[in-house]
């Protein structure tokens, strides 16, 4: 929680004024029993000599105390709410910015549902905690101890009952707090699971219905929610014990006060008004301790949630380079020795180079990629093909630095991409991911993700090259047509073409198409490949595909098999000497298989059917 308090810095004034006004309200509240004692003793007296003037004056005094207390309370609430809401706004923005800065490895490790819970439910709980602390954390103790002190000023013997009651109440309140804090953490973890399964079911609702798994998923969701409910009921029962126990202690103390007070009145040491004042102070303590108990529950939840939010901030990207003199991927310049080494190069530098690269995902038992070694020249079109799980996507994801190499080096224009500022690296690369993702808004706003200041001519040029003109012109509002979240109001092929247009509008030096034409028909796919070959500025293009037809005319074809490069060359070269490529190609074009090679292998032996990532 201490780490998060820095987001209150801009609200120091509100954080000070809110408790001060609450203390002012508490001060006026402590005066009320004394005024009531005065009305009873001096105003009413013995019911014969009633001083009506004194009663009116004291009544007006009570009214004044009530009005001033109300104004103080409202003012305190205003400042507390302003500080708490401002704090949560800054915290939520900081958390979002931090999540955006994490690499794919850390995001995969933390999980999407966890991140969403931290940014919504957890921060809301922390906001409530801050609000309650500013309002009540000082007020309640001041009322409790102030009432005890005021009781001592009236009668020491009666006030000793407070000395016994208050420690008992403190033991109950703080004991329950220490018991429930870890339980609330478990409740929040259960909420993570419920949110995770909810998100999974909502995103996969079409698949669930297609396979008629509604009842099964309903049962699974019911199990998670019932487990969460059991956890919440259990911790709720423990928290619920607090109120009756505190009531028993306080009411027992009131009984003792009435008994002691009656004796003191009988012997003439106390007046009736003073006894009523002491009982009122005990009642005030009861009310404040109930508030304090609820405050403790809220603080307990807030602290548990604050720890979870702080845990996300503790997730940091590991330094990309561990060698002495190297720098992490934060935009710093390379060391002098590295600069000197780069300046010493006399041979032409390849545009892109994978130098004995390996990649192991966090938590994976074995490397996904190993021993990747090749060079690509500027302007070349490179096809990447292989069976499912052979490592095609992992390979191209390393080029823009989504995942850092665990061994070896990836160089772009002669520079280790780990030494390049992220902004510079990403500005050179245009990526069309395997899963076409569009954001809620218009077609224009989605294209502007590629280039914020793109003109309409640039947009239409990218749309034409992506073979998406019919998609845009088919919409009533053209570029201003609305796109639903994730492009749900478009077909798969339409989404893919618009995501390709989004990448093309920025005119990247290096374009990566990660199986991004899988939903296109063969004619559209052919026109798209023709348009890509005609791109201006010697664009280096990577085309990842399971279709051999999509990469036949590439300058180089990289054949992936089980995380390694099984072959590299042109179509003709690979067809003549790479068995993996031959099996993939002839499985799609069986009529071209030479009779001498016999029938194709079984599906389980076909590289195009291998499982894995």
Q: Is the pLDDT of residue 313 over 60?
A: yes
**What pTM was computed for the model?**
0.69
Q: What share of the chain is helix, strand, coil (3-state, %, to 5)?
A: 65, 10, 25
Taking CB atoms within 8 Å and a gap of at least 24, the contacts of 602-605 are none
Confidence band (pLDDT; 50, 70, 90) for 84? very high
Which residues have CB under 8 Å from 420's CB, separation 6+?
A: 401, 412
The mean pLDDT of 559-567, rounded to a whole number, is 92
Q: Which residues in the chain are classed under CATH 3.40.50.300?
A: 350-609
Residue 222 exposed, middle or buried by CB count within 10 Å (0-12, 13-18, 19+): exposed
Number of other residues whose CB lies within 10 A of the CB of residue 354: 23
Kindly state the percentage of the chain with pLDDT values over 70: 91
Token pair recorded at residue 364: 């994976």
Identify the three-state secondary structure at position 243. Answer: helix
**Average confidence score pLDDT of the chain:** 83
Residue 464 exposed, middle or buried by CB count within 10 Å (0-12, 13-18, 19+): middle
Q: Is the pLDDT of residue 604 over 50?
A: no
Token pair recorded at residue 467: 């073979």
Architecture of domain 350-609: 3-Layer(aba) Sandwich (3.40)
Beta strands at 482-483 and 407-412: parallel, antiparallel or unpaired:
unpaired
Task: Of 185, 198, 201, 182, give the one whose Cα is nearest residue 113.
Answer: 198
What's the pLDDT score for residue 90?
93
Identify the three-state secondary structure at position 440. Answer: coil
d(CA 433, CA 392): 12
Show the DSSP H helices in 102-241 as ranges.
104-110, 112-117, 123-132, 139-154, 156-203, 205-210, 214-240
C-alpha pair distances (Å), 184 with each of 51, 228, 312, 594: 56, 11, 18, 68
Token pair recorded at residue 545: 């595909």
Query: Which CATH number describes the domain made up of 2-313?
Result: 1.20.1560.10
What's the pLDDT score for residue 598?
56
What's the pLDDT score for residue 331?
39
What's the pLDDT score for residue 605?
42
Which residues have CB under 8 Å from 55's CB, separation 6+?
A: 39, 43, 44
- Write the pLDDT tens digit of every residue in 215-260: 999 999 999 999 999 988 998 888 888 778 877 887 888 888 888 8
Q: Which residues in the chain are classed under CATH 1.20.1560.10?
A: 2-313
Q: Using an 8 Å Cβ cutoff, are 377 and 550 in contact?
A: no
Of 157 and 47, which is predicted with more confidence?
A: 157
DSSP conformation letters of 458-516: HHHHHHHHTT-HHHHHTSTTGGG-EE-GGGTTS-HHHHHHHHHHHHHTT--SEEEEEST
What's the pLDDT score for residue 319?
57
């Amino acid at each position: 929680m201490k780490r998060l308090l820095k987001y209150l810095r801009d609200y120091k004034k509100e954080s000070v004024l809110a408790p001060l006004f609450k203390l002012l309200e508490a001060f006026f509240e402590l005066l009320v029993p004394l005024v009531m004692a005065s009305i009873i003793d001096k105003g009413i007296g013995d019911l014969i000599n009633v001083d009506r003037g004194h009663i009116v004056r004291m009544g007006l005094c009570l009214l004044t105390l009530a009005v001033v207390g109300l104004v103080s309370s409202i003012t305190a609430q205003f400042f507390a709410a302003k500080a708490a809401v401002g704090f949560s706004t800054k915290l939520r923005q900081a958390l979002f910015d931090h999540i955006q800065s994490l690499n794919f490895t850390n995001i995969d490790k933390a999980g999407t549902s966890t991140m969403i819970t931290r940014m919504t439910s957890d921060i809301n709980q922390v906001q409530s905690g801050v609000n309650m602390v500013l309002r009540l954390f000082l007020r309640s103790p001041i009322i409790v101890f102030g009432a005890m002190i005021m009781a001592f000023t009236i009668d020491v013997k009666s006030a000793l009952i407070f000395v016994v009651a208050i420690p008992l109440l403190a033991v109950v309140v703080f004991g329950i707090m220490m018991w429930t804090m870890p339980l609330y953490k478990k409740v929040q973890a259960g909420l993570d699971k419920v949110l995770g399964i909810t998100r999974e079911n909502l995103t996969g609702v079409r698949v669930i219905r297609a396979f008629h798994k509604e009842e099964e998923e309903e049962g699974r969701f019911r199990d998670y929610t019932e487990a969460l409910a059991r956890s919440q009921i259990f911790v709720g029962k423990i928290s619920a014990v607090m109120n009756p126990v505190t009531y028993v202690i306080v009411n027992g103390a009131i009984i003792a006060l009435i008994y002691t007070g009656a004796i003191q009145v009988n012997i003439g040491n106390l007046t009736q008004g003073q006894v009523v004042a002491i009982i009122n102070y005990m009642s005030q303590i009861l009310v404040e301790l109930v508030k304090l108990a609820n405050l403790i529950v809220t603080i307990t939840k807030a602290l548990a949630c604050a720890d979870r939010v702080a845990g996300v901030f503790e997730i940091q990207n590991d330094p990309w380079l561990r060698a002495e003199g190297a720098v992490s991927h934060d935009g710093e310049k390379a060391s002098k020795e590295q600069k000197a080494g780069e300046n010493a190069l006399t041979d032409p530098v390849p545009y892109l180079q994978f130098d004995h690269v390996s990649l192991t995902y966090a938590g994976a038992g074995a490397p996904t990629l190993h021993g990747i070694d090749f060079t690509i020249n500027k302007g070349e079109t490179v096809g990447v093909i292989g069976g499912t799980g052979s490592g095609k996507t992992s390979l191209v994801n390393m080029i823009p630095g989504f995942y850092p190499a665990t061994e070896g080096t990836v160089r772009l224009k002669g520079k280790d991409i780990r030494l390049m500022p992220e902004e510079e690296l990403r500005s050179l690369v245009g990526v069309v991911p395997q899963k076409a993702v569009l954001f809620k808004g218009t077609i224009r706003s989605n294209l502007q993700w590629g280039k914020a200041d793109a003109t309409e001519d640039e947009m239409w040029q990218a749309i034409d090259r992506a073979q998406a003109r019919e998609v845009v012109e088919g919409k009533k509002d053209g570029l201003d047509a609305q796109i639903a979240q994730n492009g749900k109001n478009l077909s798969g092929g339409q989404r893919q073409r618009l995501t390709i247009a989004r990448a093309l509008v920025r005119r990247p030096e290096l374009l990566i198409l990660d199986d991004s034409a899988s939903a296109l028909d063969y004619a559209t796919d052919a026109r798209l490949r023709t348009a890509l070959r005609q791109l201006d500025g010697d664009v280096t293009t990577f085309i990842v595909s399971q279709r051999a037809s999509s990469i036949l005319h590439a300058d180089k074809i990289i054949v992936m098999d089980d995380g390694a490069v099984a072959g590299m060359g042109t179509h003709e070269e690979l067809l003549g000497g790479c068995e993996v490529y031959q099996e993939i190609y002839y499985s799609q074009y069986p009529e071209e298989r030479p009779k001498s090679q016999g029938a194709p292998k079984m599906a389980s032996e076909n590289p195009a059917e291998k499982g894995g990532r």
